[in-house]
């Protein structure tokens, strides 16, 4: 396996990601410090789930 160490990652899933939820009208969406933003959701809880998925954490099955 050859991997070029000089190749810069486009989106590095590093701990530098800080997610927040932003309210827009009656919708809520997740935002990340890396520039990513999730889809508009009707519930903030759903937007938080989007943020979790963006960070790579497994979604808790309830
Ligand atoms: Zn991010």
Q: What is the pLDDT of residues 11-30, one digit of tens each?
A: 555 568 999 999 999 999 99
Going from the Cα of 11 to the center of ligand 1, the distance in angstroms, rounded, reads 8
Whether 36 shows a pLDDT value over 60: the answer reads yes
In a domain, 35, yes or no: yes
Mean pLDDT for the chain overall: 83
In a domain, 46, yes or no: yes
In a domain, 8, yes or no: no
In a domain, 43, yes or no: yes
How high is the pLDDT of residue 16? 81
Going from the Cα of 55 to the center of ligand 1, the distance in angstroms, rounded, reads 7
38-59, pLDDT tens digit by residue? Answer: 999 999 999 999 999 999 866 5
In a domain, 9, yes or no: no
| DSSP-assigned letters across all residues of 5-26 | TTS--SS---TT--EEEEEETT
Going from the Cα of 16 to the center of ligand 1, the distance in angstroms, rounded, reads 8
Whether 8 shows a pLDDT value over 70: the answer reads no
Domain count, the chain: 1
- Give yes or no for a contact between 32 and 15, defined as CB atoms under 8 angstroms apart: no
| Domain extent for 24 | 19-55
Going from the Cα of 10 to the center of ligand 1, the distance in angstroms, rounded, reads 11
In a domain, 27, yes or no: yes
Q: Which residue has the tokens 């937007």?
A: 47
pTM: 0.64
């Amino acid at each position: 396996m050859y991997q070029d160490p000089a190749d810069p990652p486009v989106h590095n899933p590093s701990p530098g990601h800080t997610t927040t939820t932003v309210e827009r009208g009656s919708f809520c969406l997740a935002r990340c410090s890396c520039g990513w933003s999730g889809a508009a959701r009707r519930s903030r809880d759903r937007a938080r789930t989007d943020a979790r998925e963006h960070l790579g954490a497994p979604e808790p099955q309830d």
